[in-house]
Each structure stands twice: as C-alpha cells, then as structure tokens.
Chain A
Amino acid sequence: MKATPTNTSDMRMVLIFSVVVLLMPIWLQPFGAAYPDLMQKFAIFGLFAIGFNILFGQTGYLSFGHAAFIGVGSYATVWVFKGLTMNIFPAILFGTLVSGAFALAIGYVCLRRTGIYFSILTLALAQMSYNLAYSVLTPITNGETGLQLSLDDARVLDDPIKEGGGIPPTNLFGLELQAFDGLAGFYICAAFLILGFYIAMRITRSPFGSMLRGIKTNNNRMMYTGLNTRPYALAAFVISGMYAGLAGSLMAAVDPLAGAERMQWTASGEVVLMTILGGVGTLVGPVLGATVIKYFENIFSAIDKSVLADLYSFLPDGLADVFVTVTGLFVGKGWHLTLGLMFMLVVIFLPGGIMEGVERIRRRFSKQEESN
C-alpha cells in the first residue's frame, strides 16, 4: 500500500475482502475450520482487531486494556436480552453505545499520558474492570459463573414463552442466529465485519486519518503547529472502543453468555498479538492475525497423540513414535508454543507482520514481470 491508494483500488480491496469472508464456509473446509462457531470467532475477533488497529496502527497509542470493552459490550448485550427482547438489533446497538461511553471515560483519563505510561494506565484500568466484574459487581455480572439467560427473565418486548417452552433463541427480526446450522449467525457477524472493514478504510483515507497518523509520526510537531491533538486521539480511542464493544455484543449474540474472563489482561494481550502478527497499520493484517490465532487456539489445541499417530502411520513404527513425541510438544496443550515460535519468526524476519510477507512476494513477482 505504499503506492497512493485510489478509490478504485480501495473498492476492489473491499470487494475481494467481502468475497473471501463470505465464502469462508467453502474455502475453510480443507482446514477443518468451516464450522459456524469458529467462523463466527474469525469474524468477531477480526472486527475487534480492526478496531484496535485504528488506535494502535494509526495513532501509535498501544492500549493494553481493550478486552475491557469487549466485556462491557457483552454484559450490556446480555442485559438487553434479559430485560427487553431477544432481537439482537437493539442489544448490539446498546452494547456498542455503552462501551463507547465507557471508552470515553477511560480514554479521557489514560490519554493524558503517552507511550508506556498510557499502556500501563489502560492495563491497570482494564484489570480493575475485570476484578470488578469478577467479584465486586457480582449482582450485575454474576461473577465467575458468568451472566446467563434464564426462563424467568422479563423480556418485556417479546411474546411470553409457551408452556413447556425453552429460552427463546437470539434472532435478528425473526431470523434465528442458530438457523441453517448456525450459518445465519456467521453471516450476520460477517456482514458486521465487512461493514467495519469498510468504515475503517474510510477513516484511514480521510483527513481525520491523516491527523491520526500525524500524532503517530510526531505528536510534538503537531502540537507546535498549534493543534490540540488530544481530541483526535480520544476520538480514535472511542471509535476503537466501540469496535471492541460491537465485537463483544456479537459474541453475546451468537452465544448468549457473558463471562468475566473475556476481560482479562490475557485477552487484551491477544488482540495486540493479532494486530502485530497480521501487520500493524494495514487494513487486512489485523483480520489475518485474528484468524491465525483463533485457528491455532481451536484446531491445533484439539490435536492429540492419536491424531498424530494416524498422520505418521505411513512411517516405520520406531520413527513414527519419535515424530509423534516431538510434534506432540507443539500441538494439543502445546499450541501456545507453536504460536510463540511463529510470532517470534514473524517479528524477527517480517516486522511488518504477515502483510509484509505478502507484500514482499508481490513485489518479487511484479519485478520479474518488469524484467520480462
């Protein structure tokens, strides 16, 4: 993206992105990842990472507390399910707005500092929110057990449950998210992902986006020209907080439960990893990073010794055992190890993330074309 992006090339990118996302149920099949729950996670965490990248990639403010907004979004959403209606539209709207307001408060405090101090402040506030959700606010969050729906919730806007009926499923104006074996839920998440991607692109290309990159490049110089940069940074913080809130809301929409652990600092660290792995400041990178990490977490962690034994069954017995033992360290419980190694390799050899790798390959090919 070093070449000046034009409207046409941007639209082409959105189009390709949409097609790739929408066709996930087909092209993910060979990877064993084409089941609704995981694809929903790809879309939701992709959205989360895109939003995080608006703050980190554009302004350079590294927030270590973004998971707090996911949690706030989830709790707000589940409360709408409990109190008002199982239609996800008002719930998601409310969840996103509440986390936006929460981000405004946190951002107002944290953006007084920059660099490492900003990171520490966000980390501290997010960890405080986690502990509040975990114990102090138990009446609102149901503590460690997590906030769940129950049959006797009010749901004032919905029709009363029929005698002997269960908890109604979440729906979007009547379309159940469980419909078509969960694919309805995936396509709703995918639609939000594409919309979020498009908005992030428009922000990046706008004068407001240039202002954000100005903050990243040299905040002092911006200040010397007489500009107050803080409102811009705060706006970016709130926008990315709302993206996280939307992700949290969607999480609650496809699986109506909100647990405190999704606010923990490890979850905040995860989105930083996703963004760096994919490529900071790029548009597609964060989504790629999110997909890779969630794939590892769900697929690699489920591979066990017997699967490996099947895989190496063509080798002679002794050799197969050695292979199973050695690779066994990197799958199953050891999936973090594989991810860590990959992360190191990417950071050392491709500091710009996976997107830099893609870019290098593309440049090599185009050079060859020129020489031809």
Chain B
Amino acid sequence: MTKKSSDLSRRSLLKGTAAATAATAVAPSIFVPNATAAGAFRNDPGNSSTVTLGFNVPQTGAYADEGADELRAFKLAVKHLNGEGDGGMMQTMQPMNLKGNGILGKKVEFVTGDTQTKSDAARASAKRMIEKDGVIMFSGGSSSGVAIAVQSLAQEMGTVFMAGLTHSNDTTGKDRRRYGFRHFFNAHMSGASLAPVLEAEYGRDRQVYHLTADYTWGWSQQESIAKFTKSQAGWNTVADVRTPVGAGDFSQYITPILNSGADVLVLNHYGKDMVNSLTQAIQFGLRDKQVNGKDFQIVVPLFSRLMAQGAGENIKGILGSTAWNWKLSDAGSQAFTKAFGQEYGFPPSQAAHTCYCQTLLYADAVERAGTFNPEQVIRALEDHEFDGMGNGKTLYRGSDHQAFKDVLVVRGNQNPSSQFDLLEVQDIVPRDKVTYSEDTYPGDLGPYKV
C-alpha cells in the first residue's frame, strides 16, 4: 500500500461524508412533517376530497376464510358510507350521524393488506398503510396475537386501530392501548355465558381435557373457560395441551385423550385449526364414548359459521358461543344480512359483522367529533353507547376500550335448512351478565397524545 492510495481513500471518505450530510439535509424536506406542529396529526386528510382507510386482514394461513369475509364487510361498509347501496345498518344504528356522503364529506377510499396471521408481516403491512398510503384509521385482523401487535403499533404511530376479530382477554386487558378499540366479545364473556348452559346440559363435576392454540388467544380462552366451568359447575381440568397454530394434523394430540380419564374435550381452536381438530376428534370416535359413566362431550367455546361450514356434519349438536349470527331477528342484523346477501349472495359471518360495525362506528365518531384528529375521535368513541347494530344496547367502555353487548350461546344445527343455517341460537345472554369490572384484567391505555 502506498502513501498515495491512503491519501485518496481519506479524500473519498470526506466526499462520502459530504454526500451523506447533503442527503440528510435534503431528504426530510420531501416528507411532510406530520407529528411536529401543534394540533397537527399524522395523515391529516386536510383539504383533500378523499380519506383513506386501511384494511389489514389475513389473506393466507389458518384464518384466511375469516379474513376474506372481513374484507367483504369492509368493502360493503365503504360503499354504504359513500352513499351507495341501501345503506345497511345506517338505517338502524342509533345514534346515527352519518350522511351517506363519505366521512365529513370526504369520499372514503381504502387500501388492503395481508397480515399472513403473523405479527411481523401484519406490522409491516400496517406500517406500509400508515407511512405510504396515508391511512387515517386501519382495521382488521383475525388473530389476537396479530391484533395486539398492531395495536401497540397504532399507539406508537398515533393512528386509530379498530380491531376486527380478536377474542383474547389481553387485547383490552393487559395489552389495551389508547388507540385500539374492540367491538368483538372476548374469552371472559364466552366463559361467563357458556358455563351455565354447559352445567344445565352436561351436569356437574366433569373431567375436562383442553386442547389449546398456543398463543395469547388460546391461553386466555382456556383460562376463562376453566375458571368459569370450575366455579359454576365444579368441572375439573385434567390436562391443558398446547398445540401450534396451523398444525393441520391433530391426531397426535387427540390419541392421549382417550386414556386420560377426561369426559369433556374443550377445543380452544379457531379457523381451519378448529375444523381439523374437531373433525379428527370425531373420527377418533370421541363422541361415541362413555367415560366415568357419562357421555363424552366436545365443546368449542368460540364458534363461527365459517368454521361450521368447514366442519360440516361434525358440528351437529356441539355447543359454543358466538358474537353474532345472521339469523338474529332485530332490525340491525336483518338490514346488514340483507345488504350483505344482495352484494355477495350469501349471509355474513360474525367476523364480517364486527368489521362492518367497527368501520361505521369509527366514521360515526369522526362525524360526532367533527374532525379526523385521533385524540378527539378517541374521546368520541370512549363511553359511547349505541344501539341497532345487532347485539342490543352496546357500550364502548372508556376505561379499557371493550364493547359490552349481548352474547350468543349457539349449538350446531341438527337439521339445517340450508348450507348457511348451521348454528341455532340456544340462548342470548344479556349484556349485564357478561360485564365485568374494569380492573379484572389490569392494563394501561397510555396517552391520548403521542
């Protein structure tokens, strides 16, 4: 190495530094600084004639069916907000401030993304929506793990997240966030509504075997079901076996149940996982067995019509809870089912219902706040009470952002009249039976201003 070359490298290093400084100086100016000025907020639509919402749903993976239905509901909600179609629940919701001319007069547009039911991918997709597509609110999700991951992102970025299907207690419990809202019910409510029915149907003092999806939702649901069946009916947990999400084959988890002495199997599974585990449990002849002098029973605490469709015959007679069913006879449910049916030719699922409601509720809150500023929108949603959206009078509790409404206990239909008529409503458990105090699952919402 000669002296000359080391001289050269020093000079080029200097050049490099100069270029770097120049780039740093130039680059920020091409981005609109959002969160800096007082009163300003990220992705303010300002004078634009449109406003963009982001719909982040699983399009691949174990929850893809739910994701596809969520997306249909979002598209329908956008149509109704823009004044196309018959308006759906906008005819029934109370109070109603939407005018059918978009949100605050701005036409609603949307972008979509694939969460792949993975936290990393979901956050990347949400970041793309916020940073590149400039969404003012995003929604969706079909896994609590994902919902919790993107909810904390929502808080960091200061963009409202209206959670779609997420059932874990943690979403509005220990992982609650100021910028996240959940309209869906949760595992605690499933437990509280199911336990009395289970006691009446299957009797006291049973031995329970849990198969549990190994992530926040599974853990949380297993805990709630075990807690409520214990205190209500004296059911005893024999074993709680964790299974990976998207396992596909559950036979290795089902064979040990036969000799475990359990007489009830609780499947804390959802989506395709539940379809597979239930089908296999029935193929293994569990339901034809007699254990401890009692008929063996299977319970699926969180039910959905899409899963029932996948499980076919096997779902018949099985008890579970659900947030909403298209056969409900109230005006809101009817209006939504009709609009959805006209658009797509089949009835909506509970995932579709919650996503549709969330979009309308957000839009309504913006109208009431009179601004897109998330701070004011959040305040408008907190402790907001509404009706006419399918589950009776509903309260968005301000202290944990959980919606409290009636919960359905359903049973797999023995004699379905159509391929969609798969669940019959056994019991509608009123809101005050499933309401719990806000410090049952302690957590911290965090600040309004980020």
Contact = CB atoms under 8 A, between A and B. Distances in A.
Interface stretch (B26-34, B194-202, B323-331): B26-34
Contact of B244 (A37, A135, A259): A135
A257 B132 CA distance: 21
A313 interface: no
Contacts of B1: 7
Interface of B: 1, 5, 8-9, 12-13, 15-16, 19-20, 23-24, 26-28, 30-34, 59-60, 111-114, 118-121, 123-125, 127-128, 131-132, 144-145, 148-149, 152-153, 155-156, 174-175, 178, 214-216, 242, 244-245, 444, 446-447, 450
Given A146-B149, A148-B148, A183-B28, A8 B124 contact: no
Nearest to B120: A259
Given A6-B5, A146-B120, 4 more contacts: A37-B124, A151-B446, A183-B27, A257-B120
Contact of A145 (B20, B155, B215): B215
Interface in A25-39: 25-26, 29, 32, 34-38
Contacts of A165: 446-447
Contacts of A302: 111-113, 125, 128
B447 A145 contact: no
A82 interface: no
A11 B6 CA distance: 10
Interface of A: 6-8, 11-12, 14-15, 18-19, 22-23, 25-26, 29, 32, 34-38, 41, 134-135, 138, 143-146, 148-152, 164-167, 169, 178, 180-183, 187, 255, 257, 259, 261-262, 298, 301-302, 304, 333
A143 B446 contact: no
Contact of A182 (B60, B131, B145, B245): B131
A145 B145 contact: yes
A181 B215 CA distance: 32
B227 to A, nearest CB: 20
B19 A18 contact: yes
Interface centre among A11, A26, A187, A255 (most CB of B within 10 A): A11
Contacts of B450: 166
Given A15-B12, A255-B123, A144 B30 contact: no
A180 B60 contact: no
B115 to A, nearest CB: 11
B145 A146 contact: yes
Nearest to B27: A25
Q: Which of B118, B120, B121 has the most CB of A within 10 A?
A: B120
Nearest to A131: B244
A116 to B, nearest CB: 27
27 contacts: A15-B15, A19-B23, A23-B23, A26-B27, A26-B30, A35-B127, A41-B124, A134-B214, A145-B148, A145-B216, A148-B148, A148-B152, A150-B175, A165-B446, A166-B446, A167-B152, A167-B446, A180-B33, A181-B32, A182-B131, A255-B153, A261-B118, A261-B121, A298-B128, A301-B114, A304-B112, A333-B59
A6 B2 CA distance: 12
A262 B447 CA distance: 30
Contacts of A8: 5, 8
A6 B1 CA distance: 10
A262 B174 CA distance: 25
A72 to B, nearest CB: 15
B24 A187 contact: yes
B128 A35 contact: yes
B19 A35 contact: no
Which of B20, B149, B446 has the most chain A CB within a 10 Å cutoff?
A: B20
The 7 closest A-B pairs by CB, nearest first: A144-B215, A37-B127, A35-B131, A35-B132, A22-B23, A166-B446, A145-B145
Task: Name the residue in A144, A152, A257, A304 with the highest tally of chain B Cβ atoms < 10 Å from its Cβ.
Answer: A144
Contacts of A262: 120
B5 A180 contact: no
A143 B215 contact: yes
Contacts of B121: 261
Contacts of B145: 144-146
A333 B114 contact: yes
B369 to A, nearest CB: 21
Most chain A beta carbons < 10 A, residue from B23, B30, B59, B152: B23
**Residue among A12, A36, A138, A181 having the largest count of chain B Cβ atoms under 10 Å:** A181
A8 B450 CA distance: 48
Contacts of A14: 12, 16
Contacts of B174: 150
